Structure 1
Amino acid sequence: MPALEWRPLTKADAQSSADLLNAIETADRIGEYYTAEDTLQELIDPYADLERASLAAFDGDRMVGYVKARYKQHPEKVHRIFLDGGVHPDYRRQGIGTRLVKAGIAGAKTVHELHHPKLKLTVDIHKAEHIAGTKELFGAQGFTPARYFQYLEHPLGTAGEVAIPDGFRIEQWTRDLDEDFRLVRNESFQDQWGATPLAANAWQNKFTNHTLQPEISFLVRDKASGAPVSLVLTLSWEADTAATGIRDAHFMVIGTVPGYRNRGLASAVVGHALRAAAEHGYDQASLSVDSASESGAPGIFERAGFTPKARYVRWAFEV
């Protein structure tokens, strides 16, 4: 292993993190590019304890690898802590990845004991299946595949009118409606694998930040009761557009509360978002879906015209 400096991440590492992730993209080809603003958003995540649960490797001023853990605020029964990280392509197969994964597990245990010591702990890593060496690296540390997710895309062109079921109306995201969006997300995800409720600060950090696209984010409301019942929240990354020339509308959050499912609301709001994205000059829409989702989401997206482009593995280590 080369002589490197090892220390926890800090907010000052935003540009170094972006440079590293963009270098990783040249090898892994997952279609993700970053600006310092993007990585800073992750570094100031209120549930990422950088001091206790992160580690970065530096060769001089160059960050060549990192890991950080994100814990949950309101888990039930199982506390799933998510590890994020990577190693620069020029520094792989030198033991750096192994040290980072071990450090991530240790950091996860530390923050778990601070926040939810009475619950069972599971450590998760989410990576594209095609990335070389992940199976060997994670398997050697006791991780096994727990779930598979599909990344899907939909080319955009001229879109027709989308019918909204009788008794409902669609509203575009505004700051005043943001809390309704969050509440629908939490209620609609309560029966989804691995999901936990998001507090307002986590919601704002992860979703309603500089990447939010209000003109393609919609809420469905029951006219009779006034209750918000379904949503699509769309994000887009300027770094991706600059690197690829493709303007992508990523449907980051899609959900319908359980009592309103099977009424065509998800299909309607997705169709409405596709039409809006086309009208605003986006080239494609994309989303990720749990392959084993029990809500029928994969079928909804297939019927809407989305096609699979890549598969991701959720690796899990039960502590």
Structure 2
Amino acid sequence: MARVSEPSLSARIDQFRRRSGSELGPVLPRHPEVASWRTATADDIDAVHAVMVAADRVDHPTWTTPRDDVADTFDLAHIDHSRDTVLALDAESTVIAFGSSFLHPSREGALNVHLSGAVLPMLWRRGIGSAVFGWQYARGLEQLAEAAGALPGVPGEDWSAQLRVYAEESNRGNQRLAESAGLAAERWFATMLRDLTDGAPEVSLPAAAQESGLRIVAYTHDRDDDARLARNDAFRDHWGSLPSQPESWAKFVGGEFFRPDLSRLVVEADGTIAAFCLASVNEEDWASLGASNSYIDLIGVVRARRRQGLAPAVVAATLRAIADAGLQKAVLDVDTASPTGADALYEGLGFVADERSVALVAHI
């Protein structure tokens, strides 16, 4: 019996678009409380940020999105806000909602689109978010179709595509919106806090690690790209993780919030990075949390050095640096089903779980 070939990636995406009624691409929405709709330009950075912060203060009161996080997306070559972000404006031309659809530049067997957006909280539950999401969803599928069509050859069953949305666990409205479009909850993440007013835990590298030449050092910018490559190796089997690209990584480690003085690396005798704990400080979040704090952005151990006791030591070293800087708390986010058992590791270092968020995904 002849083997039935699987449809190509492009064919699967086209089928998905037809089933969802999105085959014509995004069309500017209509809503009785929105005076006009348009796509975004760099002149809209502050307006978009204002909507995002207003929603942040309700969704997760302990932190807000820095303006630079919004501004940086306007500098990235793979994002075109004139096609990728829609704005809802009121009669005074004030932005009251926005939605973005960002296609990740990685092309390693998968195409990934992240949908994000916000509505001013005083206008929640009026259908504006649904109108925005409909546009985002159609744009995301259009991006996947365009990217699949530009791939060499005819990508088949070995390629995948997905749309992804993150929502706060407490915001059932956002979750229901994504679920109504066929996305399903797939992973949960927890924000964890560590009080440092009584100091940081004392954890050293295991004797075997020290004997092999491993040591903990402060982060320095001459290791920027080495750290990116170590991050990509450490996270390559983590759920939803995609390779960090040089352009976006440079913005992260070169940004005003990143703190190399608080960040720590575990390096081999020859200087190769074996583990890392990278931290940042955004003083605008201090009032929201009620304490000065540092956010730990990334913790990882390269695959060849896992399960050798490096992670507790490098995190503890960063916590000591944060405490020595006079900051009261450390904050991080963790995948609750990480293959490395990270949540148990952080609990062992004194972190306590706080807020939770959920990732919802549509697989194609």
TM-score, length-scaled by structure 2: 0.82
- Cα pair 2:79 2:102 within 8 Å, conserved: yes
3-state SS, counterpart of residue 305 of structure 1: coil
What CA distance in whole angstroms lies between the structure 2 residues aligned with 1:184 and 1:78? 21
Cα deviation digits, residues 23-65 of structure 1 (max 9, x gap): 2134323423245444212333443331222111111242111
Aligned pairs for 1:1-319 within 5 A: 1-59=32-90, 60-117=92-149, 118=155, 119-157=159-197, 158-159=199-200, 161-165=202-206, 166=210, 167-223=213-269, 225-319=270-364
Amino acid paired to 2:129:
G
What CA distance in whole angstroms lies between the structure 2 residues aligned with 1:134 and 1:280? 38
Larger mean Cα displacement after TM superposition, 154-163 or 16-25: 154-163
What CA distance in whole angstroms lies between the structure 1 residues aligned with 2:69 and 2:242? 23
Amino acid paired to 2:187:
R
- Indicate the residue corresponding to 2:6 in structure 1: none
Larger radius of gyration: 2
3-state SS, counterpart of residue 261 of structure 2: helix
Greater strand share, structure number: 1
- Cα pair 2:216 2:264 within 8 Å, conserved: yes
Deviation at 1:17, TM superposition (A): 1.8
Q: Which stretches in structure 1 are left out of the alignment for 5+ residues?
A: none
What CA distance in whole angstroms lies between the structure 1 residues aligned with 2:195 and 2:242? 31
Deviation at 1:206, TM superposition (A): 4.1
Distance of aligned partners of 1:102 and 1:3 in 2 relative to their CA distance in 1, 3 Å threshold? closer
Amino acid paired to 2:306:
R
Deviation at 1:161, TM superposition (A): 4.5
Alignment RMSD, CA only?
1.9
Cα deviation digits, residues 207-263 of structure 1 (max 9, x gap): 54121011111111011x432111011122232125444222111111101110111
What CA distance in whole angstroms lies between the structure 2 residues aligned with 1:159 and 1:6? 50
TM-score, length-scaled by structure 1: 0.92
Q: Which stretches in structure 2 are left out of the alignment for 5+ residues?
A: 1-31, 150-154
Cα deviation digits, residues 169-223 of structure 1 (max 9, x gap): 1222222111111111011011111112112102123454121011111111011
